[in-house]
Amino acid sequence: MMKNFQEEIGKFNLERGWNKDSRFIKDFLLNLCEEATEAWTVIKWIDEEKQKEVIKEHVDKFEDFVGDSLYLIFKIAWLLDIDSEQALKNTLEEYEKRFPADKMKEVKHGNPLAGGIDNK
């Protein structure tokens, strides 16, 4: 399924004459940061309790963040010939090792294993 999105985004780009040129990777990475910043701007400096309310009021901006960020991630994967599905599987496997469910459940707030059992 992820591969389909990656291919669709590649097709979308080629149809517009945006060739498979990885020279602009740094710009797409900055775009990704920009998307996160847009979402952050909605809740910056707002205390935790109020954040829930504000996010509810502006859920469209977070939806936009998710969509735009996924677009950029699939585009970067397409440009670099990275199999996005395999990349996510690799990450999940790594997280499974670093954040074992039985150990993570034992830990409460102020989690000393927040960086994972390998403390990365």
Binding site for Mg ion (CB under 5 A): 64, 68
Question: Would you mind telling me the total number of residues written for the chain in this entry?
Answer: 120
Nearest to 33 by CA among 57, 68, 60: 68
Report in angstroms how near the CB of residue 51 gets to Mg ion at its nearest: 19
Helix axis angle, 59-79 to 2-15, nearest 10°: 80
Q: Decide whether 22 or 41 has the Cβ nearer to Mg ion.
A: 41
Q: Decide whether 66 or 87 has the Cβ nearer to Mg ion.
A: 66
Gap between the Cα atoms of 71 and 47, Å rounded: 30
Report in angstroms how near the CB of residue 37 gets to Mg ion at its nearest: 10
The structure tokens listed for 6 are: 């990656």
Report in angstroms how near the CB of residue 5 gets to Mg ion at its nearest: 17
Q: Decide whether 59 or 107 has the Cβ nearer to Mg ion.
A: 59
